[in-house]
Amino acid sequence: MTDRLLDIADLRVAYRGKGWRAPGKEVLKGVSLSIRRGETLGLVGESGSGKTTLGRAVLGLAPIASGTVTFDGERIDDADRKRRRALGRDLQVIFQDPYTSLNPSRTIGDTLGEPLLGHGVGTAEARARVVSLLDRVHLPADAAGRLPREFSGGQRQRVAIARALALRPRLVVCDEPVSALDLTTQRSVLDLLLEIQQQTQVSYLFVSHDLSVVRLMSHRVAVLRHGEIVETGDAAAVTGNPEHPYTRDLWLSAPVADVAAQRERRMRRRPAPPGTGNG
Phi, psi torsion values for 203, nearest 5 degrees: -95, 150
The alpha-carbon radius of gyration of the chain (Å, integer) is: 19
CB-side exposure of 5: number of CA atoms within 13 Å?
A: 19
pLDDT at 279: 37
Query: Contact at 8 Å (CB) between 189 and 177?
Result: yes
pLDDT digits (tens, 9 = 90+) for 48-61: 999 999 999 999 99
User: Sheet containing 74-75: which strands, arranged edge to edge?
Assistant: 25-36, 4-15, 64-71, 74-75
* Distances in whole angstroms, Cα of residue 208 to Cα of each of 25, 46, 168, 266: 22, 8, 23, 20
pLDDT at 277: 42
* Extents of the domains making up the chain: 91-166
Question: What residues in the chain have per-residue pLDDT under 50?
Answer: 1, 259, 262, 274, 276-279
**Strand partners for 12:** 29, 66
Q: DSSP letters of 222-272?
A: EEEETTEEEEEEEHHHHHHS--SHHHHHHHHHS--S-HHHHHHHHHHPPPP
Give the DSSP letter of residue 150. Answer: G
Distance (Å, whole) CA 271 – CA 84 = 44
pLDDT digits (tens, 9 = 90+) for 19-29: 776 777 899 99
